[in-house]
């Protein structure tokens, strides 16, 4: 059974600081996804990582994938308040619609 673990589960940061969220998964999978969820809202797709060594960046967020270590990271650079949200990683085979999600990392960015 595929298991996906994120850490930390809760993260409080000051604006301007850098931090990394980790996502470990238990079995070989084809794809790794990162999503953002604001309170009471649905999930917004951030990144799709397809292969070992894949790196994608959007604004202050950068995601990477190491399939050999079964590890993905989401790095936050110079955090701003607008990044406060819950971030989920999810792992899937060839079908994104059958994803297994981690429990999420709730990020709070304070002034």
Considering the rule CB under 8 A, would residue 82 count as an interface residue with another protein?
no
Sequence-separated (6 or more) residues with CB below 8 Å from residue 44 = 35, 36, 37, 38
Considering the rule CB under 8 A, would residue 51 count as an interface residue with another protein?
no
Half-sphere exposure of 4 (CA within 13 A, CB side): 21
Pairwise CA distance, residues 40 & 43, whole Å: 10
| Given 58, 78, 103, 110, the residue binding another protein (CB under 8 A) | 103
| Given 4, 32, 46, 83, the residue binding another protein (CB under 8 A) | 4
| Given 59, 98, 108, 111, the residue binding another protein (CB under 8 A) | 98
Q: Are strands 43-49 and 19-25 parallel, antiparallel or unpaired?
A: unpaired
Nearer to another protein by Cβ, of 4 and 85: the residue is 4
State the DSSP string of 27-49.
S--SEEEEEEE-TTS-EEEEEEE
| Given 90, 91, 107, 109, the residue binding another protein (CB under 8 A) | 90
Binding site for another protein (CB under 8 A): 4, 33, 35, 41-45, 48, 88, 90, 94-104
């Amino acid at each position: 059974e595929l298991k996906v673990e994120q850490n930390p589960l809760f993260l409080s940061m000051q604006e301007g600081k850098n931090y990394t969220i980790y996502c470990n998964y238990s079995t070989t999978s084809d794809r790794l996804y990162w999503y953002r969820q604001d309170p009471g809202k649905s999930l917004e797709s951030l990144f799709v990582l397809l292969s070992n060594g894949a790196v994608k960046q959007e604004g202050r967020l950068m995601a990477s994938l190491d399939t050999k270590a079964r590890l993905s990271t989401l790095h936050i650079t110079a955090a701003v308040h607008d990044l406060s949200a819950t971030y989920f990683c999810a792992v899937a085979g060839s079908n994104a619609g059958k994803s297994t999600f981690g429990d999420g990392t709730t990020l709070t960015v304070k002034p």
